[in-house]
């Protein structure tokens, strides 16, 4: 009797996803817990394992289809006999077509026949594919150490660091994969569409928005439509933080095993300021204002699918070392697509560092239902007046966007001043002043 492959539980408040990619095709042999498909949710990619060993039978949800939690994606037939039965007709079909005219149809059929081959590169997880694409690597040049020779993320990292991996032969001129125009409205597929010829040297490329990008767009527009958003600015002298970092970074890394960066200073400064100005840490729910005595700070990080904001729970209680470790871990797992859904939910305040991309000044958009977001920018040496003299100091512009429905201008300015004071005199962070 066939076993159903169903959409797993995706996390609190997430009821549906989009089929991103099938890593196995009907007739392919699968092992229990082997990843056979990936789903895209509003926040992260989710891998779908095979519930049992056998042969993949009918696929009920195609790539790009929207599916609800509990829906049947495919069925797995018991035993391995089905694989041989399915592969044989495919091979015969390929052979016949090749004898007939050697056309592209024959090549396609032959490719299908090869699909039953249980090689190391037969099923790559989304995380592995992202790493391969990021470094433009040929998966066949890397030895897989997973079950059945499956290629793991650690194998790719090891090959990259050891210089053993080979570049993909496709290169920039590789033909784009075509996605059928008959896909349902709102369907998501991360693969690019074929480039449309629009005259010599004038090409266009269309890509469907991923579910994550759709969610980002929806939430940002929701923030503009709902909140009375306003931004206040200040600048901060980074001299003291840079001096402290230069003085203690080696000792810090030796003791804690992590580098001392600027984000931990700003995270601690914001946590301190949120205590002094609780309205920035609050949110509106109906006709009530919810105030909080804790600080769950979201740290905006880049991922291949777009900007994600993992939450640093109880940031006000974490040490500098714990803060740096958590932020570094968020960044790594965001790039590899390994963040968990629960890590992206909640949050009372957000920090976005556009300075890493070279931004000088910006007005960040709120992350609903939060009432405040701090924008950091690049450090730039500028002339400033100190004690009546013009001196050169490393300066950074800070921007606080806030919901004016709940945060008054005085409170917003006070919050930003508290952050400025803590950064220009880091001793305040230690003494809780």
Q: Give catalytic residues, as residue numbers.
A: 404, 408
| 302 Cβ neighbours under 8 A, 6+ residues apart | 308, 334, 335
CB burial string 70-100: b at 16+ within 10 A, e below:
eeebbbbbeeeebbeebbeebeebbeebeee
Long-range Cβ pairs for the range 360-364 (8 Å, 24+): 360/397, 361/233, 361/397, 361/399, 362/399, 363/231, 363/399, 363/401, 364/231, 364/399, 364/401
Instruction: Name the residue among 377, 151, 403 with its Cα closest to residue 283.
Output: 403
What tokens does 428 get?
A: 């305040």
> What are residue 236's DSSP bridge partners?
396
Tokens 């042969």 locate to: 55
Sign of CA dihedral 375, 381, 384, 386: positive
Please tell me whether residue 238 adopts helix, strand or coil conformation: coil
Helix, strand, coil percentages for the chain (3-state, nearest 5): 35, 25, 40
Instruction: Name the residue among 297, 289, 290 with its Cα closest to residue 273.
Output: 297
Task: Report how far residue 327's alpha carbon sits from residue 310's, in angstroms, rounded to the nearest whole number.
Answer: 9
Neighbours of 303 (CB within 10 A): 22
Contact 152, 145 (CB under 8 A): yes
Please tell me whether residue 16 adopts helix, strand or coil conformation: strand
């Amino acid at each position: 009797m066939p076993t159903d492959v169903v959409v797993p539980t995706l996390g609190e408040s997430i009821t549906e996803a989009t089929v991103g990619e099938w890593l196995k095709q009907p007739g392919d042999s699968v092992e229990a817990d082997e990843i056979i498909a990936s789903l895209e949710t509003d926040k992260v990619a989710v891998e779908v394992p095979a519930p049992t060993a056998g042969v993949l039978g009918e696929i009920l949800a195609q790539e790009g289809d929207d599916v609800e939690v509990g829906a049947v994606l495919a069925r797995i037939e018991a035993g391995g006999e089905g694989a041989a039965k399915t592969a044989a007709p495919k091979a015969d079909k390929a052979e016949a077509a090749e004898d007939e005219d050697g056309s592209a149809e024959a090549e396609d059929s032959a490719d299908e026949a090869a699909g039953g081959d249980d090689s190391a590169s037969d099923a790559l997880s989304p995380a592995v594919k992202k790493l391969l694409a990021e470094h433009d690597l040929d998966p066949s040049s890397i030895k897989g150490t997973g079950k059945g020779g499956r290629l793991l993320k650690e194998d790719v990292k090891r090959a990259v660091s050891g210089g053993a991996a080979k570049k993909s032969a496709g290169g920039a001129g590789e033909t784009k994969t075509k996605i059928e125009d008959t896909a349902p409205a709102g369907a998501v597929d991360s693969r690019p569409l074929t480039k449309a010829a629009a005259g010599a040297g004038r090409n266009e490329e269309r890509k469907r928005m991923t579910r994550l990008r759709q969610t980002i767009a929806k939430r940002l527009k929701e923030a503009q439509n709902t909140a009375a958003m306003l931004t206040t600015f200040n600048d901060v002298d980074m001299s003291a933080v840079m001096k402290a970092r230069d003085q203690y970074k080696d000792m810090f890394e030796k003791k804690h095993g992590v580098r001392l960066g600027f984000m931990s200073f700003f995270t601690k400064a914001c946590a301190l300021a949120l205590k002094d100005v609780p309205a920035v840490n609050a949110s509106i729910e109906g006709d009530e204002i919810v105030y909080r005595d804790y600080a769950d700070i979201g740290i905006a990080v880049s991922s291949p699918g777009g900007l994600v904001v993992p939450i640093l729970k109880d940031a006000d209680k974490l040490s500098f070392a714990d803060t740096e470790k958590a932020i570094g871990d968020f960044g790594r797992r965001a790039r590899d697509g390994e963040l968990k859904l629960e890590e992206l939910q909640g949050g009372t305040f957000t920090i976005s560092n556009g300075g890493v991309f070279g931004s000088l000044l910006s007005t960040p958009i709120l992350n609903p239902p939060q009432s405040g977001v701090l924008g950091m920018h690049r450090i730039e040496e500028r002339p400033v007046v100190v004690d009546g003299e013009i001196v050169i100091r490393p300066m950074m512009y800070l921007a606080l966007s806030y919901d004016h429905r709940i945060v008054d201008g005085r409170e917003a300015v006070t919050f930003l001043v508290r952050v400025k004071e803590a950064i220009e005199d880091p001793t305040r962070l230690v003494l809780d002043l």
